[in-house]
Amino acid sequence: MVHKYNCRFVPPYKRIWRKYNYSKLIKKYFHDCETILDIGAGDCIFEECCEELGKKVLGVDLNPKFERKNVIIKDYREITDQYDGVFVGGLLYSINQFELMDAVSRICVKKCIIVENMPFDRAIWNSAPAIRAWSKKGVIGLFNGYSSLKVIDSGYFIPYCSFFSKNKHFVVAEQKTK
């Protein structure tokens, strides 16, 4: 069977929970956003949710294997267009956070959501791309100190396993009024 999205394999139980949580975030925070940019599009679940909810979404990723209808292969720092909403899922640990905040401040018109993981597997922090883990408090501090956005909400995803409850978190920020 060929999936309509060219994405890596995500186990069905994780797909279900990610779609559920992403759909909740989109409905609650991106309800007034017509255009959404997904930085680090990867596995295509966020784009799927946006399309199902009638949102216009564009994903950017550096990995050519993720190129598909709504995803272009491009560095997020090269994006010049502005989008009502910006979504960043699970990238913060491996990119320069200050460059990301600069890009998000420039690109985002209304709201930005950052979803981050705190992996239990400490081995990931010994790998080359890992810069540091980002707690929810750390992401809030990053928004408050290094962007033109202010934090309006944060929380944890409904876990697919009870001991993961503090593992996947989100922070929502919006442009400061001038």
Higher pLDDT, 121 or 157: 157
Higher pLDDT, 53 or 17: 53
What is the chain's mean pLDDT, rounded?
82
Residues 6+ apart with CB under 8 A from 127: none
Average pLDDT over residues 131-149: 82
- Predicted pLDDT at 6: 43
Pairing label, strands 35-39, 83-89: parallel
Which class would CATH give 12-175?
Answer: alpha beta
Taking 80 as the threshold, does the pLDDT of residue 80 lie above it?
Answer: yes
- Please state the pTM of the whole predicted model: 0.84
Using DSSP, state whether 178 is helix, strand or coil: coil
- Calculate helix-pair angle for 136-146, 97-107, nearest 10 degrees: 60
DSSP 84-110: EEEEEES-GGGS-HHHHHHHHHHHEEE
- Predicted pLDDT at 49: 94
- Predicted pLDDT at 54: 94
Give 119's pLDDT tier (boundaries 50, 70, 90): low
Taking 50 as the threshold, does the pLDDT of residue 162 lie above it?
Answer: no
Taking 70 as the threshold, does the pLDDT of residue 79 lie above it?
Answer: yes
Cβ–Cβ under 8 Å, residues 35 and 83: yes
Helices (H), 43-174: 45-52, 97-107, 136-146
pLDDT digits (tens, 9 = 90+) for 12-45: 777 788 899 999 999 999 999 999 999 998 888 8
What's the length of the chain? 178
Taking 90 as the threshold, does the pLDDT of residue 127 lie above it?
Answer: no
